[in-house]
Structure 1
């Protein structure tokens, strides 16, 4: 089972790292936990030789298990993602999409069920003054570097880029500890006593000992 995106974000934060993308990305359609490998696309201002056609061709490829990450989409006049690209992405096996710019057709996207996070909702299309500048290259979204193939975790609570597998293992242990805190509070324990279930894991992560925790670790 995947740890919550919030637990991954907390682990990164405790390690002094970044990786969470929400905010500024906002949910167009939230879904249960999805893990996929990034397929990066970089947009840039200007008409370009082919406009957005390389993105359209990408969605004709086999993208099973991929999360399409469209960086630089703020360069467009309006939305660069909507119902049509969602349909194409779903047909290609895409498990989610991140758009650093506008999205539209929100109702249709939600009905189609593909997890989609974007900066904002837009009414108009992308317009002619934007083009695909690179594909499969490292990009920056909200100040977070994402390379093609990096792990992206999306769930109802947010979206985060995972820099290495140890983060997921530590986040699973962290989430288990948080569940123990919540259970203790439901039983009427005071906050100081309940938080002890989580204190050791927080201290270990702050000490910069990545990978020393693991799923199923006892919450002390």
Structure 2
């Protein structure tokens, strides 16, 4: 693990994908990775993308060492493994899960499938994919490139972009917009907490949403609400 935690990642790790998605929407950025799902209940991950692009094997030639890239993945990364949505050849399994857990890799997203889910679950490793299937990719896929742009669900993901995944799904945040997205997502979560508090104090949902600028929470001046529901 990194000796000095990244302060932006620490802030991001405290946010859920719902708030981050709202923030991305407000900035007109597409980030949701449709169809990738949490494979181990209760796990989540946040980190900088280390991208891996696979391609089909077109000629018989035996084992292709398609997973040795992981030796070079920095701790605190999230591996983004693009197998172009292929569901019949896994690109993740038991050995990679053990290695990633020992090296402090924060999680793996697969545009495709993984296997050995018993091990993944036992190690509580954050794995997100289109599904699970036991058939090996050893002689079916080969490594095309690492640390190149990949595209998943129509979203371009560049090395170093921020990946966040939880029970609600997975998303990618462009690195250049990371801090702006964080600020807006924090405002979204703060506003939602204030709305819930205002409702508990007697406001209607409509009143609470208007008071706390639910439509544009990043403009919220954080008004304090009395028990009667009036701003101080």
> Taking structure 1 as the reference length, what is the TM-score of the superposition?
0.82
1:218 aligns with 2:222: yes
1:27 aligns with 2:38: yes
Between stretches 69-78 and 116-125, larger displacement belongs to 69-78
1:129 aligns with 2:133: no
Q: 1:126 to 1:167 in 2, by over 3 A?
A: same
Equivalent runs, 1:132-211 vs 2, <5 Å: 132-163=143-174, 164=177, 165-199=179-213, 202-203=215-216
Secondary structure in structure 2 of the residue aligned to 1:60 = helix
Distance 2:213 2:131 in 1: 37
Q: Alpha-carbon deviation of 1:77? A: 2.6
Q: Alpha-carbon deviation of 1:167? A: 0.4
Structure 1 unaligned spans of 5+:
205-212
Distance 1:10 1:29 in 2: 25
* Structural RMSD (CA): 2.6
Q: 1:98 to 1:105 in 2, by over 3 A?
A: same
Instruction: Mark the structure with the bigger radius of gyration.
Output: 2
1:18 aligns with 2:18: no
Tell me if the contact between 1:139 and 1:147 (Cα under 8 Å) persists in the aligned partners: yes
Between stretches 155-164 and 167-176, larger displacement belongs to 155-164
Q: Alpha-carbon deviation of 1:188? A: 4.3
Secondary structure in structure 1 of the residue aligned to 2:32 = coil
Distance 1:111 1:80 in 2: 19
Secondary structure in structure 2 of the residue aligned to 1:189 = coil
Distance 1:187 1:119 in 2: 43
Counterpart of 2:110 (choices 99, 103, 112) is: 99
Match of 2:53 in 1: 42
Q: 1:135 to 1:50 in 2, by over 3 A?
A: farther
Distance 1:85 1:72 in 2: 16
Tell me if the contact between 2:49 and 2:161 (Cα under 8 Å) persists in the aligned partners: yes
Distance 1:141 1:94 in 2: 21
Superposed CA deviations along residues 173-215 of structure 1, whole A, max 9, x for unmatched, are 1111011122223444321012124426x337xxxxxxxx49x
